[in-house]
Amino acid sequence: MMNSSADILLPDENGLAQAAKALRSGACVAFPTETVYGLGADAHNGQAVARIFQAKERPSFNPLIVHLHDASAAQKLVEWTDVAERLANAFWPGPLSLVLPLKAGHGLSELVTAGLDTVAIRVPRHETAQKLLHAFDGPVAAPSANPSGQISPTTAQHVIDGLGNKIAAVVDGGPCDVGLESTIVQATPPGQLLRPGGVTTEDIEAVLGTTLARPASDKITSPGQIASHYAPQSHLRLNAAQPDNTEVMLGFGEIAGDLTLSASGDLVEAAANLFGHLHLLDKRRQPIAVAPVPNVGLGRAINDRLKRAAAPRSSMTSGG
Ligand code: TXA
Ligand code: MG
């Protein structure tokens, strides 16, 4: 078992205040939800969100679920729909995530949504999650708190075993009672099941009074594959030392560009800037030359995204 440097916090007033303070400072904090333990970060803070991917060693930037303490906090971020209203009334707080279009001025980091114009939102019912979300009083991005490719944690000890030397703290709220990730539903009409989970499809269909379109059956085990992914309109040329005279340049480290992911070569900063910079350069409607990014640590996920963005759309799928 690895050494752990993470603080184990009790779900009392003092522990939750410490957890909220760590989140505000840009650190990653694991916390229980009724499904699994999540690895949380301030969803407004791109560098904090980048640290989630760094800690999990995720090989790819998948869009994350944003956790809020109630539906009215969620409605400030997204365009609400009738499907969302009915499902939220029936299942929130609970193990259900809804994918909805982002509202202008949402303020979320583009790393949370992986550059998409939709976001997955969830109001968990676990008492500790509720208390932490109230104490922090803002949106918390959180995937399951395990190293990429390993089993989702349902106790604080699982989190410590997997990530104890990589995260600031874990709030120990006891075992998770559902033990299975949330169900994800695309809540724009007519509604679509994106991932089966803690709320059954039958219960959702009973509330909506219709049958939901299902994900392609061979892809159910890889939920990331069913999300569409952000790709720029403009052609990308990777590992470029400099732009040719038709191109705009996305720089990194010593290679400065029209926009630069991180002048100091910091991969956390680069990850936080990735989707925002691509969006801005794409607006110029010129081909984009991209400086090399080292293929280590978070650089792997950055390069994975850049490769997808450079590939023809039909060959894109998501990993991890
Ligand atoms: O129970 C859960 O859902 C746990 C707890 C911590 O809340 N979280 C969780 O997160 O399972 P994660 O990162 O393992 O799964 C998030 C999935 C992604 O695989 C992605 O496919 C989907 O949510 N997702 C997120 N945003 C999306 C979007 N805008 N469109 C489609 N799918 C999205
Ligand atoms: Mg997971």
Ligand 1, atom 8: nearest CA belongs to which residue? 143
Helix (H), strand (E) at residue 100: strand 96-101
**pLDDT at site 245:** 95
For residues 152 and 161, give the distance between their C-alpha atoms in angstroms, rounded to a whole number: 12
pLDDT along the chain (320 residues), means of 10: 85 98 98 97 98 94 96 98 97 98 96 95 98 98 94 93 96 93 93 91 94 66 52 93 97 98 97 91 95 94 90 51
Q: Which residues line ligand 1 (CB under 6 A)?
A: 33, 35-36, 38, 62-65, 97, 99, 113, 116, 118-120, 122, 142-144, 181-182, 184, 194, 223-224, 227
Going along 214-316, which residue ranges are E strands? 236-237, 248-251, 259-260, 288-290
Helix (H), strand (E) at residue 184: strand 183-186
**For 29-46, b where at least 16 C-beta lie within 10 A, e where not — what string?**
bbbbbbbbbbbbbbbbbb
For residues 139 and 169, give the distance between their C-alpha atoms in angstroms, rounded to a whole number: 18
Nearest ligand atom owner, CA of 35: 1
**pLDDT at site 230:** 76
* 314 Cβ contact list (under 8 Å, min separation 6): none
121 Cα to the center of ligand 1, angstroms: 9
User: 108, 170, 155, 317: which is closest to 231 by C-alpha?
Assistant: 317
251 Cα to the center of ligand 1, angstroms: 30
55 Cα to the center of ligand 2, angstroms: 13
Nearest ligand atom owner, CA of 78: 1
**pLDDT at site 295:** 93
Hey, how many other C-beta atoms are within 10 angstroms of the C-beta on 228?
12
* 60 Cβ contact list (under 8 Å, min separation 6): 224, 301, 304, 305, 318, 319, 320
Q: Name the region of 309 (left: φ>0; alpha: ψ -120 to 50; beta: rest).
A: alpha
Hey, how many other C-beta atoms are within 10 angstroms of the C-beta on 151?
11
Strand-strand pairing, 96-101 and 65-67: unpaired
